[in-house]
Amino acid sequence: MSLGADRSYKMKLRDVENAFKYRRIPYPKRSVELIALLAISCTFFLFMHTNKLNSRLKEMEVKLQPSEFSALGLTGNHVSGHDAGKHDDINTLHGTYQYLKSTGQILQLNAQDLNNTPKADIDVVFFNRVPKTGSMQLIELMRQLGKVHDYEVEKDPQVGGVLPLLELPEQSDMIENIVNLEDGTVFASHVNFLNFTKNEQPRPIYINMVRDPVERVISWYYYIRAPWIFVPGRRRTNREMPNPKWVNTEYDQCVLSGEKVCTYIEGSLLEHVGDHRRQTLFFCGHDEFKCTPFNSRLALQLAKLNVEREYAVVGTWEHTNETLAVLEAYVPRYFADATKMYYSGLHADKQNDNPMKPHISQDILDMVRRNFTREIEFYQFCRQRLHKQYLALKLNDLKRADKSLARLEAANEMAIKN
């Protein structure tokens, strides 16, 4: 073969190889761009709708009532400073819901099983109000509701302040007085839990309010030092005015200096009428040995037991909307339309609010909380019970939202795979 023929053969062979190497299906350039744009658009569409439905689920869990998911930063009131930002905290409504859902307990919730109102034998509400939990706010709400629903609110005058531990005859007398009230009455008093059943008397409808126990003792500390509180009190009782040092000592100074009033020793007994360290005492009862040792396990367990067995609702203004919704549903005779009434103006009228109470540093709060472990546990127990009652009312809405979200997420996964 000549040199020219050999070169011609190699060129032809190279042309054939190139033809196979670069062979492709011809697509117009704009068609390729259109397909890419459609793929991106579909992915973005599914992402946006999944995100939107997820947001709607969370809204429904609250819409439920808005402020209870505040610890998630979604809206409204904060539960308390130490809970803020804890998205999975079981002491928030959302945290309780996620926990019950993950353990399968959410399906077992039943509003009727959590409702103690039907256990009542008489149509009387007994509100043995805990000091510094916003009880006057609830009393004012009930007074306004009473005008609509035709019931009376009787507030124990308690000139001497909070009732101390009552002897058995005193307990019996007070129980008898409450039992003899007319149907359609609310009786409010700063008094420890009274056991009507043990006194062989018909049981009323129990309600109460709680508050973060450390915030509560700080509130009491400044409340009794406010001039508009101690001046009229001293004049009524003819006692001398308090020492200026006592009035002007800030709470953090009191804690750091180790003053007795700001020292919280586990097991210490009730010292005087103004000793307000124990929120559990108002749910435990009048047994000095069982109920008064501070931060004790026995007092905690007895208080929990009484709440679980006896109380229709134990609410907290730290979960305002949730509390009002549960009161409306579980004690409708007295609290129908409570949310509407509250937000018609009562919410802005804070009773016994103390504008002079300063900000307390987190270090001081943490130091005090270490001594309130069981008091805090009781408070959290009451909150979780309130959450369960509330979720039981909204269970059908939550189930529907969960199913909708699950369907959309499944569709999104399918689209991504395809």
Q: Average pLDDT of 171-191? A: 96
Least confident of 262-266, 274-278, 290-294, 342-346: 274-278
pTM of the model: 0.73
Same domain, 164 and 308: yes
Among 29-33, 48-52, 187-191, top mean pLDDT goes to 187-191
Predicted confidence (pLDDT) at residue 309 exceeds the cutoff of 80: yes
Same domain, 125 and 240: yes
Q: Average pLDDT of 287-294? A: 94
Q: Average pLDDT of 72-80? A: 29
Residue 185 has what pLDDT? 97
Q: How many residues does the chain have?
A: 418
Q: How many domains does the chain have?
A: 2
- CA geometry: angle 8, 11, 13, nearest 5 deg: 110
Q: Which residues contact 203 (CB under 8 A, 6 or more apart)?
A: 119, 120, 121, 122, 196, 197, 310
Local confidence band at 179 (pLDDT 50, 70, 90 cut-offs): very high
Tell me if 323 sits within 8 A of 386, measured CB to CB: yes
Instruction: Please report the DSSP string for 296-313 in residue order.
Output: -HHHHHHHHHHHHHHEEE
Per residue in 85-95, pLDDT tens? 343 466 788 78
In whole angstroms, give the CA distance from residue 139 to residue 351. Answer: 10
Same domain, 217 and 333: yes
Same domain, 23 and 160: no
- How is the beta sheet containing 185-188 ordered, strand by strand? 152-155, 185-188, 124-127, 205-209, 311-315
Same domain, 244 and 367: yes
402 within some domain: no
Least confident of 57-71, 254-268, 351-365, 393-407: 57-71
Two tokens at 346? 């009562």
Per residue in 99-119, pLDDT tens? 888 888 887 888 889 999 999
348 within some domain: yes
Among the three residues 47, 63, 79, which one is the final residue of a domain in this structure?
Answer: 63
In whole angstroms, give the CA distance from residue 106 to residue 399. Answer: 10
301 within some domain: yes
Q: Which residue from 220, 210, 154, 226 is spatially nearest to 184, judged by alpha carbons? A: 154
In whole angstroms, give the CA distance from residue 187 to residue 205. Answer: 10
| Residue bearing the bigger pLDDT, 133 or 240 | 133
Q: Cβ of 223: how many Cβ atoms within 10 Å? A: 18
Least confident of 11-15, 145-149, 252-256, 272-276: 11-15
Residue 94 has what pLDDT? 79
Rg (CA), the chain: 32
Predicted confidence (pLDDT) at residue 35 exceeds the cutoff of 70: no
Average pLDDT of every residue of the chain: 78
Tell me if 203 sits within 8 A of 119, measured CB to CB: yes
Same domain, 52 and 135: no
11 within some domain: yes
Two tokens at 22? 């670069």
- Which helix (H) or strand (E) is 154 found in, with range? strand 152-155
In whole angstroms, give the CA distance from residue 61 to residue 104. Answer: 17
Residue 99 has what pLDDT? 83
154 within some domain: yes
| Residue bearing the bigger pLDDT, 238 or 165 | 165
Annotated catalytic residue, options 190, 319, 347, 387: 190
Least confident of 22-36, 42-56, 64-78: 64-78
Residue 50 has what pLDDT? 46
Same domain, 159 and 15: no
Predicted confidence (pLDDT) at residue 406 exceeds the cutoff of 70: no
322 within some domain: yes
Which CATH number belongs to the domain containing residue 167 in this structure? 3.40.50.300
In whole angstroms, give the CA distance from residue 141 to residue 136. Answer: 9
Same domain, 206 and 277: yes
Residue 92 has what pLDDT? 81
Same domain, 139 and 247: yes
- Which helix (H) or strand (E) is 390 found in, with range? helix 373-393
298 within some domain: yes
412 within some domain: no
Residue 42 has what pLDDT? 55
Which conformational region is residue 336 in: left (phi greater than 0), alpha (psi within -120 to 50 degrees), or beta? beta
Same domain, 218 and 141: yes
In whole angstroms, give the CA distance from residue 327 to residue 336. Answer: 8
Two tokens at 375? 């008091």
Residue 365 has what pLDDT? 94
Among 57-61, 178-182, 247-251, 352-356, top mean pLDDT goes to 178-182
Residue 190 known to be catalytic: yes
Residue 318 has what pLDDT? 93
Residue 230 has what pLDDT? 54
Q: How far is CA 69 from CA 94, 107, 365, in A?
A: 6, 21, 23
List, in sequence order, the alpha helices (H) in 27-180: 29-63, 93-102, 135-149, 168-179
Domain span holding position 57: 1-63
Same domain, 168 and 44: no
Same domain, 18 and 115: no
